Amino acid sequence: MKHIQTKNNKAGMTLIELVIYFSLLAVLSAVVVSSIFSLFKSYASIKVGQDMETTAIQVLDRMTRDIHDADSILVNLSSFGIPSSYVTLSMNSSASETIKYYVASTTKIAVDKNGVYLGELSLSTVKIDNFLIRYINGTSTQALKIELGLIGEVRNASTTIYKNFYTTVQLRD
């Protein structure tokens, strides 16, 4: 009698233990798995943000430097006020050195030097939504207002980030 009771008692405890343990394990694994997924997701979104920053800085800083140094803007070799604008700068009019910034294959910002392809400034992970240049032809100064819209696609999350970067650069010559 005593022996049977002990056995029953033992079996009941083990079952409850198992149920509690497995339910806790299930909850815990759900938490761990979801936080691991969110780690991957946030890594992807940080990566996209960084790529967009890098692209904006590469494009706009280089354009700023070149526009500051430029002798003049070759208006007849530029197209302003449209979403895929392009601009040609005369860097050294005596040596007829020119630099052109434009949207290549609708996804990247490219540079030509003296009409020859020099390279891309945007990263391959970032696409171009908008490259709008406006020409400010003032009485004493000339400037370009540049609007760079970038599209970043976050992997594994199927979300798309749109960011705009704006700057204005005045010619110094």
Partner 1 sequence: MRRNIFKRGISLIEVIIGVAIISLSTIYISQAYGGFVAASADNVARVQATFLLDEGVEAVKTLRGESWTKVASTTVGVPYYLIWNTDRWAATTTPQVTDGRFYRTMIFSTVNRDASFNISTTTGTLDNGTRKVDLAVAWNEKGSTSTRSISMYVFNIFN
Per-residue interface string for the shown chain with partner 1, residues 127-146, x marking contact by CB under 8 A: -------xxxxxxxx-x-x-
Which of 114, 117, 170, 173 contacts partner 1 by CB under 8 A? 170
Residue 17 is a binding residue for partner 1 (CB under 8 A): yes
Residue 159 is a binding residue for partner 1 (CB under 8 A): no
Over 14-41, what HEC string results?
HHHHHHHHHHHHHHHHHHHHHHHHHHHH
Span interacting with partner 1, options 100-108, 113-121, 122-130, 160-168, rule CB under 8 A? 160-168
Q: How far is CA 166 from CA 10, 12, 82, in A?
A: 73, 70, 15
Amino acid at 74: L
- Give start and end residues of each alpha helix (H) in the chain: 2-69
Residue 10 is a binding residue for partner 1 (CB under 8 A): yes
Q: Is the dihedral of CA 150, 151, 153, 158 positive or negative?
A: positive
Q: Which of residues 48-87 bind partner 1 (CB under 8 A)?
A: 49-50, 52-53, 56-57, 60, 64
Q: What is the CB neighbour count within 10 angstroms for residue 88?
A: 21
Residue 165 is a binding residue for partner 1 (CB under 8 A): yes
Q: Which token pair is 168?
A: 């204005």
Residues of this chain that interact with partner 1 (CB under 8 A) are 6, 9-10, 13-14, 16-17, 20-21, 24-25, 27-28, 31-32, 35, 38-39, 42, 45-46, 49-50, 52-53, 56-57, 60, 64, 134-141, 143, 145, 163-170
